[in-house]
Amino acid sequence: MPNPTSQGSEEKPVGIDSFRTFTASSASVIPLLQQIQNQYGYLSENNLERVSEYTHVPLSSIYGVATFYSQFRLSRPGKHLIRVCQGTACHVLGAGEIMAYFKEQLGIEENETTTDELFTLESVRCLGCCSLAPAMMIGDKTYGRLTRDTVDGILSSYREREER
Amino acid sequence: MSHVSEIRVGLATCGIAAGAEPVYTALEKELAMIDVPVRLKRVGCIGMCYNEPLVDVVTQDGERSTYGHVRVEDVSRIVEEHVIGGQPVQDLLVASDGFFDKQVRIVLENCGLIDPESLNEYLKCDGYEALEAVVFTMTPQQVIEKVTASGLRGRGGAGFSTGVKWGFAAREPGPEKYFICNADEGDPGAFMDRSVLEGDPHRVLEGIAIGAYAIGAPHGYFYVRAEYPLAIKRLEKAIADATAAGLIGENILGSDFSFEIKIKAGAGAFVCGEETALIASIEGRRGTPRRRPPYPTVSGLWGKPTNINNVETLANIPWIIRHKAEEFTSYGTEKSKGTKVFALAGKVSHSGLVEVPMGMPIKDIVFDVGGGIRDGKAFKAVQIGGPSGGCIPSSLADVPVDYESITATGAIMGSGGLIVLDEETCMVDLARFFLDFIQKESCGKCTFCRIGTKRMLEILTRICDGNGTVEDLDWLLELSKKVKTYSLCGLGQTAPNPVLTTVKYFREEYDAHIVDKTCPAHVCKALIHYEIDPDQCKDCKLCTHDCPVQAISQGKGAFQTIDQKTCIKCGRCYEVCPFGAIDVQ
């Protein structure tokens, strides 16, 4: 299992008390993992163990679930998660070039985080904003009709906000 | 002259991304300052996504003026000239382009017209009348008979008769049964279900409640993609409001029928579109399909009889109940009744959310509804049905959109993604794109799906890189046959479709890549190079400044030249040149 602590000290594991709204059964595994990831941005080994303890599902199965679904990540992401859409409409309208430009500008590959821990770059299957292709999301915000110029503008606006 | 009574702002995900929120806020401020009572409301997808952000101004007589590409600075003119002055702002109105002329709106009846967060607005549009009629005046068997008579077939892609499916679930012994709405819209290039859930969530809720009554299910789930936070939020509100109003929950409308429903957010797995995989996911396991039979209608969620329908299927139900079955069957073809919603996107001028009668020829959707190809380019093909579908070439543009005709081309109807492709789309690259998707999304259970698609992807990558051989094509076809035959679920069985249809209809493009080592659409980087035409070059050096690898320098004269060894073929020079001096070979 990747060791998230290599990227800095780990947060205190989630308290089992916060699980009480979920039934202690296998049906709660995915909702619990989603809640933990919402809170921490990723799933640490400690937290996977907590889910296993609470739901009585073996840790190996929890790990199986966490690695099966594309939503879950096992290492801490940067402050801003960039998800570049790679759906069909985006693909035929140049999403590949946009992804390449992000890699060039951020100096990282897909699923990596910049050294200042500001940005993590991921691709996403389809955001369902095909009319705005090529599209992406940063955090909860969707951006469409991307070009290299708009990418420049968006990245600098995030960086400026950090400096302030 | 009739006064403006209502202003609607399209605030679905697309609209928000295009900047509709600040427009809404600006309208709110402007309207607060004037003495004219106007109702400002948020609506879902209006459909004309190519004109986002969209604002509809409606008069008391119901006359509707649509403004497109609205910017915050346009708002004061709309308020002053139209709301106060009564004169539409002509230069901001969207052009009348025939976008709606050939559409028939059953599923999208309310979408873009009503506030999706208001139960009252849905009630005013005959909302929940169908549920009331069903619960008090029809037996479950009568509901099933009516839905069967309407000819409605599953809109998720497979096209199985909805009424017949309900019949299977209904005849299983109760009382524990489940009704699931599959809203895990996983096809890349599809946004119909998201739009319906964001634009008219009560309609889907009413549809699932009617279905649950028909099969006798007291429990239900919405399985929604996690990437659709707004759809989840609006659905949550719809469920809460409907429950508070006694329309969902214990003893619906005072009857004996009770139905409680929960939302499960999917966690991102294309294979969960397959019913048994979706069930595994709700049960908290990896979304791996299992053998059928038993079918979920016999043994589904937690081993209980379970019926699963897609969002669009359920959104048809209230309309069907409110009308005579013949009214629904008056639309469509002999075997495909009603309408189909498409997410029209790609190289088409009017990309958006459209609903057309079944049986409309592909070319009418592309040209009459979609306004033809962008930038005057040539229409090459449509990609229909996502990764399980295929490419239908422009030579077959007369093919009507119905389940049987589309299947006969080698593609499938699918859930409604319709991507229009032009001369600049490389069909080999597109086949590679879908194989890459499928290979990543294969759950890994069946050997041919897990490894076969990987080998197919390697072959396609080789061909796109200019390293393909003639034998590669034979291998590709051989593997396609095996993957289709030896896969358990729909994902694997249909995975080779994008390859098979592109080889069938665009064989010459494969040959060009393999034999001539060229990419006719100028997409595959290994097979193209950029050159500057010294006669066209004005020596402005824009390309030189923009080149990320400094591959462009002064030529022997007043022009620039590209060093082919350094060039990474990013195409930036081609895009930036104002004189068209860069050639792609």
Question: Any idea what the CATH number is for the domain that residue B62 is in?
Answer: 3.40.30.10
Residues B248 and B196 in one domain: yes
Question: How would residue A110 be classed by pLDDT, with cut points 50, 70 and 90?
Answer: very high
Amino acid in position B507: R
Check residue B1 and give its pLDDT.
Answer: 60
Q: Could you give the domains of chain A?
A: 4-68 (1.10.10), 80-163 (3.40.30.10)
The pLDDT value given to residue A20:
87
Which residue, B306, B327, B348, sits at the end of a domain? B327
Q: A130: distance to nearest CA of chain B, Å?
A: 6
CATH number, domain at B189? 3.40.50.11540
Overall domain count for chain B = 5
- Closest Cα partner for B454 from B474, B435, B434, B480? B435
B195 φ/ψ sector (left φ>0, alpha ψ -120 to 50, else beta): alpha
If asked whether residues B201 and B237 sit together in one domain, one would say yes
Judge whether residue A42 has pLDDT over 70: yes
Instruction: Judge: A92–B421 Cβ closer than 8 Å, yes or no.
Output: yes
Last residue of a domain, one of B516, B538, B556: B516
| Any domain includes B441 | yes
Domain co-membership, B138 together with B74: no
B352 & B474 share domain: no
- Inside any domain, residue B55: yes
Q: What is the ipTM of this complex?
A: 0.91
Of B423, B420, B419, B457, the closest CA to residue B438 belongs to B457
Query: Does residue B358 lie in a domain region?
Result: yes
Q: B191 with B297, same domain? A: yes
Q: Which of B327, B353, B379 is the last residue of a domain?
A: B327
Interchain CB contact of B369 with A (< 8 Å): no
The answer to whether position B275 is within a domain reads yes
Supply the pLDDT for residue B551: 95
Give ∠ CA B474-B475-B477 in degrees, rounded to 5: 65
Single pTM value for the model: 0.94
Q: What is the structure's pLDDT at A10?
A: 54
Helix (H) or strand (E) holding B381: strand B379-384
| Cross-chain residue pair A130–B345, CB shorter than 8 Å | yes
Q: Read off the tokens for B152.
A: 């409605």
Residues ≥6 apart with Cβ < 8 Å to A156: none
Q: What angle do CA B195, B200, B206 make, to 5 degrees?
A: 125
Average pLDDT over residues A119-128: 91
| Domain shared by B169 and B282, yes or no | yes
Residues B410 and B433 in one domain: no
**Tens-level pLDDT at each residue, chain B (585 residues):** 679 999 999 999 889 988 999 999 999 999 999 988 999 999 999 999 999 999 999 999 999 999 999 999 999 999 999 999 999 999 999 998 899 999 999 999 999 999 999 999 999 999 999 999 999 999 999 999 999 999 999 998 889 999 999 999 999 998 999 999 999 988 888 899 999 999 999 999 999 999 999 999 999 999 999 888 899 999 999 999 999 999 999 999 999 999 999 999 999 999 999 999 999 999 999 999 999 999 999 999 999 999 999 999 999 999 999 999 999 999 999 999 999 999 999 999 999 999 999 999 999 999 999 999 999 999 999 999 999 999 999 999 999 999 999 999 999 999 999 999 999 999 999 999 999 999 999 999 999 999 999 999 999 999 999 999 999 999 999 999 999 999 999 999 999 999 999 999 999 999 999 999 999 999 999 999 999 999 999 999 999 999 989 999 999 999 999 999 999 998 899 989 999 999 998
Domain that holds residue B213: 119-327
- By the 8 A CB rule, do B524 and B429 touch? yes
Residue B548 sits in a domain whose CATH number is 3.30.70.20
Q: What is the DSSP string of B86-103?
A: ----GGGBPP--STTTT-
Asked whether residue B177 falls in the same domain as residue B320, the answer is: yes
**Predicted confidence band at A125 (pLDDT cuts at 50, 70, 90)?**
confident
Q: Check A144 against B189: CB less than 8 A apart.
A: no
- The CATH number for B348's domain is 3.10.20.600
pLDDT, residue B198, reads 95
Residues in B touching A33 (Cβ below 8 Å): 267
Q: Are residues B78 and B50 in the same domain?
A: yes
Average pLDDT, integer, range A142-164: 92
Q: Is residue B107 one of the residues assigned to a domain?
A: no
pLDDT band at A7; cut points 50, 70, 90: very low
| Integer angstrom CA distances of residue B143 from A41, B11, B213, B306, B568 | 46, 35, 9, 17, 62
Residue B98 inside a domain? The answer is no
**Would you place residue A164 in the very low, low, confident or very high pLDDT band (cuts 50, 70, 90)?**
confident
Q: Is B194 on the interface with A (CB under 8 A)?
A: yes
Higher pLDDT, B5 or A14: B5
Reading the block at residue B524, the tokens are 């595959």
Whether B387 is in a domain gets the answer: yes
Same domain? For B350 and B450 the reply is no
Task: Please check whether residue B109 lies inside any domain of the structure.
Answer: no
The string of pLDDT tens digits covering residues A71-87 is: 999 999 999 999 999 99
Chain B residues in contact with A124 by the CB 8 A cut-off are: 227
- Candidates A142, A139, A98; CA nearest to A118 is A139
B209, B287: one domain: yes
B191 contacts in A (CB within 8 Å)? 128-131
Test B425 with A92 for CB contact under 8 angstroms: yes
Which range is least confidently modeled, A16-20, A92-96, A134-138, B28-32? A16-20
Q: Provide the CATH number for the domain around residue B459.
A: 1.20.1440.230
CA dihedral B426→B427→B432→B435, nearest 10 degrees, is: 150
Same domain, B183 and B269: yes
Mean pLDDT of A8-19: 67
Tell me which residue in A29, A124, A129 faces B17 most closely, judged by beta carbons.
Answer: A129
Query: Which ranges constitute the DSSP H helices of B376-443?
Result: 403-408, 427-441
Query: According to the model, what pLDDT value does residue A4 have?
Result: 41
Joined together, the tokens standing for residue B345 give 């996107």
Contacts of A99 (CB under 8 A, 6+ apart): A84, A86, A110, A123
